[in-house]
Amino acid sequence: MSIDDMNGWRKTHYTRDVTPELDGQEVILGGWVRNYRDLGGLKFITLQDKYGERQITLKKGVVSDEVFEKGKVGYQYCLMIKGKVKKFEKAPGGIEIIPTEIKILNKTPDKLPIDMTGETISELDLRLNNRALDLRSLRNQAIFEIRGQVLMSIRNFLLKQDFTEITTPKIIGSATEGGTELFPIMYFDKEAFLIQSAQLYKEQLGGVYERVFEISPAFRAEKSHTKRHLCEIFTLDVEMSFADMNDVQKTLEELVHNVIEDVRENRMPALKVLNMEDKTIVPKLPFPRYKYDEIIELVDKKFGITIEWGEDISTEAYRKLGEELTGYYYITHWPMEIKPFYILPSNNPKYSESFDLQMGWLELVSGGTRVHNKQQLINAIEAKGLNSASFESHISVFGFGMPPHAGFGLGIARWITFICGLDDIREAVMYPRTPDRLTP
Ligand code: AMO
């Protein structure tokens, strides 16, 4: 069988736009074969495109012999179909298309590497190896439709609140946050690094545009093989001047509330595909707030897990916490010693003006009030054992009238994992990067 050209054909509709009102009209659709059934004198092709699917019905004697013969297709063949819309209640969506012409634009092997019928879910690594194909599945269509909505709703919400969208460099000359988790690269004949967070730039630009946000990648050279860690992350970074952590927490919880409301309002069919329609519900405001001290006391009393004051909360403790606190909640006032230099110490300097936003057991956000006094910033950098000279260009900005400010960073993939009820963060990213995965 030969491969056809489009030959001037253009799609007249997406599948979702072919409604029963178009009964009798001629349409041209294009897409891929999600499903195919050959019952002898009758063949059904389920044609999918970016928005959905429609049934193409080929009955011997009703369609031409040539079209009937051409209807012998394989899974995920790329097709264009010209045909008449026919109202038919028994067909999915109450419509079928009776084709008058079929173009086969590209074929697939007899056996695809992963299941594309939706009957079973192939193993994740196998799916990721064939990601562009895998992304055509109904489940992935739903996940990334929701992700798109989340990003759009975040932007709409923040722009309405006078935030300015910024874009900051992802290649930097020296280690910013002092961590060891940086990817070095060659920048012509010099060593440079991929950025770990937009932190320092968003703070600087907060001193210009007052309220800023960025949605962008950041790179973490952590060899973590967990279901919640990636090496290339995508974060929402927010910074607000003339504000402290309480103001930021209020904006953040309103943002979460609004975004989930938008997802439910606009993406209910996608939530249903993922069986999340009763689980991803609009959270009540305000979110519960617990201090770090209260949390370590709770996990000790309730679960007998001891966390030494000053230590991070262990994964085991988080898991247990997630059984107790199932929704969104804040953990505030972390020990200063486990927070980065840019976080403002509390009046009792053992503590910090910081918070995490949790969803059950998973950390979604971290943030806090920042140091804005230049000398205090220099001291804080050195107290963390870093060389303030390598932060000179950043520190200098604090000598030019830096306002008090606060902000947060939200991991987009972690949030999508939660909203979509996924088991592994890699499912929430089109092309995930992990210690073991650099392709595709
Ligand atoms: P932090 O390092 O906590 O804070 O990162 C912010 C959020 O990004 C997500 N995240 C990750 N997601 C997947 N894989 C990873 N390896 C990973 N690392 C982080 C988490 C996390 O809560 N500059 C500060 C933010 C601020 O204070 O504004 C920062 O980067 O959801």
Helices (H), 312-373: 315-324
**CA 208 to ligand 1 center in whole angstroms:** 24
Predicted pLDDT of residue 117: 84
pLDDT at 265 over 80: yes
Residue 212 Cβ < 6 Å to ligand 1? no
Predicted pLDDT of residue 181: 87
Q: What is the CATH class of 134-288+325-428?
A: alpha beta
Predicted pLDDT of residue 176: 62
Residue nearest to atom 22 of ligand 1 (CA): 365
Task: Over range 217-237, report the average pLDDT.
Answer: 95
Q: Any bridge partners for residue 331, and if so which?
A: 290, 356
Predicted pLDDT of residue 177: 66
CATH placement of domain 15-106: 2.40.50.140
CATH 3.30.930.10-classified regions of the chain:
134-288+325-428
| Mean pLDDT score across all residues of the chain | 96
CATH 2.40.50.140-classified regions of the chain:
15-106
CA atoms of 332 and 329, how far apart (whole Å): 10
To test the pocket of ligand 1, the residue of 166, 172, 180, 197 to mutate (highest count of ligand atoms within 8 Å of its CB) is: 197
Task: Over range 118-147, report the average pLDDT.
Answer: 95
The better pLDDT of the pair 120, 413 is held by 413
Task: Over range 2-25, report the average pLDDT.
Answer: 96
> pLDDT class for 438, splitting at 50, 70, 90?
very high
pLDDT at 134 over 90: yes
Task: Over range 332-343, report the average pLDDT.
Answer: 97
> pLDDT class for 415, splitting at 50, 70, 90?
very high
| Spatial contact of 331 and 295, defined as CB atoms under 8 Å apart | yes
| Tokens matching residue 435 | 């210690």
User: What does the buried/exposed string (b/e) look like for 34-72 if buried means 16 or more CB atoms within 10 Å of the residue's CB?
Assistant: bbbeeeeeebbbbbbbeebbbbbbbeeeebeeebbebbe
Predicted pLDDT of residue 119: 82
pLDDT at 179 over 70: no
**CA 409 to ligand 1 center in whole angstroms:** 6
Predicted pLDDT of residue 118: 81
**CA 410 to ligand 1 center in whole angstroms:** 6
pLDDT at 178 over 80: no
**CA 157 to ligand 1 center in whole angstroms:** 21
To test the pocket of ligand 1, the residue of 414, 436, 437 to mutate (highest count of ligand atoms within 8 Å of its CB) is: 414
Residue 71 Cβ < 6 Å to ligand 1? no
Closest approach atom of ligand 1 to CA 231 = 16
Predicted pLDDT of residue 120: 85
Residue nearest to atom 17 of ligand 1 (CA): 229
Predicted pLDDT of residue 2: 83
- Determine if the peptide bond prior to 404 is cis (ω within 30°): no
pLDDT at 153 over 80: yes
With a pLDDT cut of 90, the percent of the chain lying above it is 95
Residue 411 Cβ < 6 Å to ligand 1? yes
pLDDT at 243 over 80: yes
pLDDT in tens, 354-381: 999 999 999 999 999 999 999 999 999 9
pLDDT in tens, 182-198: 999 999 999 999 999 99
**CA 39 to ligand 1 center in whole angstroms:** 53
Residue 366 Cβ < 6 Å to ligand 1? yes
> pLDDT class for 121, splitting at 50, 70, 90?
confident
Residue 414 Cβ < 6 Å to ligand 1? yes
Residue 147 Cβ < 6 Å to ligand 1? no
Task: Over range 251-277, report the average pLDDT.
Answer: 98
| Ramachandran angles phi, psi of 234, nearest 5° | -130, 120
Read off the pTM.
Answer: 0.96
Question: Which residues, 6 or more positions from 39, have their beta carbon under 8 angstroms from its beta carbon?
Answer: none
Residue 220 Cβ < 6 Å to ligand 1? yes
Task: Over range 83-95, report the average pLDDT.
Answer: 95
